[in-house]
């Protein structure tokens, strides 16, 4: 998307924006419509841009499929041609060209105190002057502020615009007046109140009937640029498979895998049937030749992994990843170099580069495994508005020809996996006991409140800062993935993956894995002065563990792009009492 529309990269669409988000463009703010509107507009199918990840689809998306946002180049359109459908939002604007008041008006009507102008000029002017306030509720609905009801308290006259008096340093100084009946309202008081929600899902277009039964949540007036107006909900998965990238790309053909799945489940799949299905799927001659030259044992193993038979016993996505990462740190992946030059693996851990590092506390030895290649699929499953603790989840899924789809992005990069090897963590001290009680008393059984998870999560944030000094990446570019596996309340596995990814098949340049050889220095710097903070005693004594542990921006909190738990479940005093 290009000027006068805002340019949005496919990765930004998934991580930051998405359906229902407001974008600021050169011609005014717009809201992104649902993704089915995109494919209708470009006259293409979601499967043309499908990202295949069977584990993620099966374990977390209830079998839904994943598609990405195409770029202008892929559609053979110029970079200044908008491709994603949008609607102007909000539709009320504030004209500041008049004195002693300003004029609040609807875009379709135009400012009544300005000279006449063409419809195009009127739209451009209204977009530039769009009001910065909207109405939102925790059920995920979004709409224009109901200015008529705000001024007239439910009654009112037939005015089409209002006079905006005051402004400056406080909203309580703003008064909105009806020019016809001279009713007034204090905007500061209106901003502090709750309002009836219209139930509008803005990305679906239109506005529901205000007289019909709508949302029972109370809505609030918020600024359209507020960070909590739309919080993306992401689900991601690592592709931890011992197969070359090209073979994975070939087997990701949906029609081929659909045919193979039926034969596989009945135990009828062999090399002859596989090649027959590959030809029926319409694969190109060079791909067919590549498959003929690839040993059947390698193809069969890849199909096992993609269809799930070769996965570990874990039934969860995180548990499966932890099992595979621990196996990779033990044996290496791939175990032997691939015979086809120029076909690198999707996931690679060189077993000879795995380090065992003694912590400064002398209690545990950390196993540090460099993940020199990894592939991650990230999916935006929905979003929330206002309060992430109470807000309802709004889905970004859309239906297309009977299938459910989610927007996603494919990323490549590198990382460092850290665990205790065959050891199990043993935590002691008062902070561990407090977190254990909170975890046991949590009605949802939230794993992130378990003391072992809090320990790894806290160590992760300290390492993020230390790694950013020498890796060439900022701390905001390094992400975390904390693992904890429980059976009957007992810890059976845990670990931490710190990684950086970006779009494109080449991934990153190795600045992260290069630090494994001197990880002792990284760990020493990360744990230095962990028992103190420049904000003590406020940081140490302020929050109780019943709310959160000892953590603040000076000692622990990280960027939202790095922390997958929104800086919840951190306690540096727990780490200080249990130094590795």
Report the pLDDT value the prediction gives residue 243, as an integer from 0 to 100.
62
Q: Same domain, yes or no, for 186 and 245?
A: no
Q: Same domain, yes or no, for 326 and 178?
A: no
In a domain, 30, yes or no: yes
CA dihedral 271, 272, 274, 280 (to 10 degrees): 160
In a domain, 83, yes or no: yes
Taken in order 406, 411, 415, 421, is the CA torsion positive or negative? positive
Give tens-digit pLDDT for 9-34. 888 899 889 999 999 887 888 999 99
Which of 201, 231, 261 is where one domain is finished?
231
Structurally, the chain folds into a number of domains equal to: 3
Report the pLDDT value the prediction gives residue 545, as an integer from 0 to 100.
44
Does residue 478 contact residue 512 with C-beta atoms inside 8 Å?
yes
Taken in order 179, 182, 187, 188, is the CA torsion positive or negative? positive
In a domain, 395, yes or no: no
CA dist., res. 268 & res. 257, Å (int): 14
Give tens-digit pLDDT for 373-391. 888 899 999 999 998 888 8
Q: Same domain, yes or no, for 274 and 291?
A: yes
Does residue 420 contact residue 367 with C-beta atoms inside 8 Å?
yes
Which of 231, 248, 270 is where one domain is finished?
231
Return all residues near 30 (Cβ < 8 A) that are at least 6 apart. 5, 22, 23, 86, 87, 88, 89
Residues facing residue 220 across a β-bridge: 136, 194
In a domain, 271, yes or no: yes
In a domain, 177, yes or no: yes
Q: Same domain, yes or no, for 296 and 332?
A: no
Residues facing residue 161 across a β-bridge: 105
Q: Same domain, yes or no, for 157 and 35?
A: yes
Alpha-helix residue ranges (DSSP H) falling in 8-116: 10-15, 35-42, 54-60
Structure tokens at 113: 């105190």
Which of 172, 199, 231 is where one domain is finished?
231
Report the pLDDT value the prediction gives residue 565, as an integer from 0 to 100.
87
In a domain, 390, yes or no: no
In a domain, 512, yes or no: yes
CA dist., res. 103 & res. 113, Å (int): 8
Report the pLDDT value the prediction gives residue 98, as an integer from 0 to 100.
86
Report the pLDDT value the prediction gives residue 78, as an integer from 0 to 100.
84
Q: Same domain, yes or no, for 254 and 359?
A: no
Q: Same domain, yes or no, for 322 and 278?
A: no
Report the pLDDT value the prediction gives residue 312, as an integer from 0 to 100.
45
Report the pLDDT value the prediction gives residue 258, as an integer from 0 to 100.
67
Q: Same domain, yes or no, for 370 and 484?
A: yes
CA dist., res. 111 & res. 93, Å (int): 9
Sort 527 into a burial class: Cβ within 10 Å, 0-12 / 13-18 / 19+.
Answer: buried
Assign 178 to helix, strand or coil. Answer: coil
Q: Same domain, yes or no, for 279 and 332?
A: no
Q: Same domain, yes or no, for 423 and 550?
A: yes
Q: What is the helix (H) or strand (E) element at residue 456, kind and residue range?
A: helix 451-470
Q: What is the pLDDT along the chain (580 residues), one digit of tens a residue?
A: 334 566 788 888 998 899 999 998 878 889 999 999 999 999 999 988 988 887 788 888 988 999 999 988 888 888 778 889 998 899 999 988 888 889 998 888 888 888 888 888 877 887 888 899 999 999 999 999 999 889 887 666 888 899 999 876 788 889 999 988 888 999 999 999 999 888 899 998 877 665 665 788 899 999 998 988 999 999 988 877 666 667 767 776 667 776 776 677 677 788 888 888 888 877 888 888 888 888 888 788 777 777 654 444 445 788 888 988 998 898 887 754 544 445 566 788 888 899 998 877 777 789 999 998 888 899 999 999 998 888 899 999 999 999 999 999 988 888 999 999 888 888 888 899 989 988 888 887 788 899 999 999 999 999 998 888 887 788 788 899 999 998 888 888 999 999 988 876 555 667 888 899 999 999 999 998 888 888 888 888 765 444 568 888 888 888 877 888 888 889 999 999 998 8
Q: Same domain, yes or no, for 152 and 292?
A: no
In a domain, 391, yes or no: no
Closest-CA residue to 259 (of 301, 307, 308, 296):
307
Residues facing residue 32 across a β-bridge: 86
The range of the structural domain enclosing residue 39 comes to: 10-231
CA dist., res. 544 & res. 322, Å (int): 31
Q: Same domain, yes or no, for 240 and 222?
A: no
């Amino acid at each position: 998307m290009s000027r006068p529309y805002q340019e949005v990269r496919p990765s930004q669409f998934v991580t930051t924006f998405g359906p229902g988000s407001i974008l600021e463009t050169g011609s005014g703010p717009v809201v992104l419509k649902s993704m089915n509107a995109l494919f209708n507009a470009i006259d293409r199918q979601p499967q043309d841009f499908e990202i295949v990840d069977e584990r993620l689809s099966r374990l977390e998306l209830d079998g839904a499929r994943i598609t990405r946002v195409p770029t202008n180049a892929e559609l053979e359109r110029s970079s200044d041609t908008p491709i994603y459908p949008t609607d102007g939002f909000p539709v009320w604007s504030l004209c500041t060209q008049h004195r002693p008041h300003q004029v609040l008006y609807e875009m379709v009507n135009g400012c009544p105190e300005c000279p006449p102008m063409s419809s195009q000029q009127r739209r451009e002017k209204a977009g530039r002057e769009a009001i910065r306030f909207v109405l939102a509720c925790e059920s995920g609905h979004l709409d224009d502020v109901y200015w008529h009801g705000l001024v007239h308290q439910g009654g009112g006259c037939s005015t089409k615009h209002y006079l905006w008096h005051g402004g400056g340093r406080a909203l309580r100084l703003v008064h909105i007046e009806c020019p016809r009946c001279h009713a007034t309202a204090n905007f500061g008081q209106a901003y502090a109140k709750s309002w009836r929600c219209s139930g509008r899902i803005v990305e679906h277009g239109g506005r529901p009937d205000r007289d019909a039964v709508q949302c029972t949540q109370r809505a609030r007036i918020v600024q359209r640029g507020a960070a909590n107006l739309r919080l993306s909900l992401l689900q991601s998965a690592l592709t931890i498979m011992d197969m070359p990238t090209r073979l994975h790309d070939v087997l990701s053909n949906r029609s081929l895998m659909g045919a193979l799945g039926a034969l596989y489940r009945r135990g009828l799949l062999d090399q002859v049937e596989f090649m027959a299905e590959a030809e029926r799927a319409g694969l190109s001659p060079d791909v067919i030749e590549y498959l003929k030259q690839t040993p059947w044992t390698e193809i069969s193993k890849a199909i096992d992994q993609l269809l799930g038979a070769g996965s570990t016993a874990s039934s969860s996505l995180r548990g499966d990843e932890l099992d595979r990462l621990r196996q990779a740190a033990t044996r290496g992946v791939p175990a032997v170099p691939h015979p086809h030059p120029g076909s690198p693996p999707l996931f690679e851990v060189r077993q000879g580069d795995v380090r065992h590092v003694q912590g400064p506390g002398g209690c545990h030895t950390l196993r540090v495994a460099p993940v020199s290649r990894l592939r991650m699929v990230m999916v935006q499953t929905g979003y929330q508005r206002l309060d992430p603790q109470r807000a309802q989840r709004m889905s970004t899924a859309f239906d297309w020809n009977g299938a459910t789809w989610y927007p996603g992005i494919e990323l490549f990069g590198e990382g460092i996996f850290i665990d205790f090897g065959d050891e199990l963590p043993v935590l002691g001290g008062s902070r561990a006991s407090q977190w254990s009680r909170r975890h046991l008393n949590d009605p949802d059984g939230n794993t992130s409140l378990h003391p072992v998870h809090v320990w790894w999560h806290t160590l992760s944030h300290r390492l993020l800062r230390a790694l950013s000094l020498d890796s060439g990446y900022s701390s905001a570019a390094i992400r975390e993935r904390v693992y904890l596996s429980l059976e009957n309340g007992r810890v059976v596995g845990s670990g931490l993956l710190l990684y950086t990814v970006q779009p494109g098949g080449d991934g990153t340049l190795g600045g992260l894995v290069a630090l494994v050889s001197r990880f002792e220095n990284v760990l020493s710097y990360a744990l230095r002065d962990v028992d103190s903070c420049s904000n003590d005693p406020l940081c140490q004594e302020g929050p109780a563990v019943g709310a959160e542990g000892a953590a603040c921006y000076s000692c622990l909190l990280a960027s939202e792009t790095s922390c997958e738990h929104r800086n919840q479940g951190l306690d540096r005093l727990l780490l200080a009492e249990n130094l590795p």
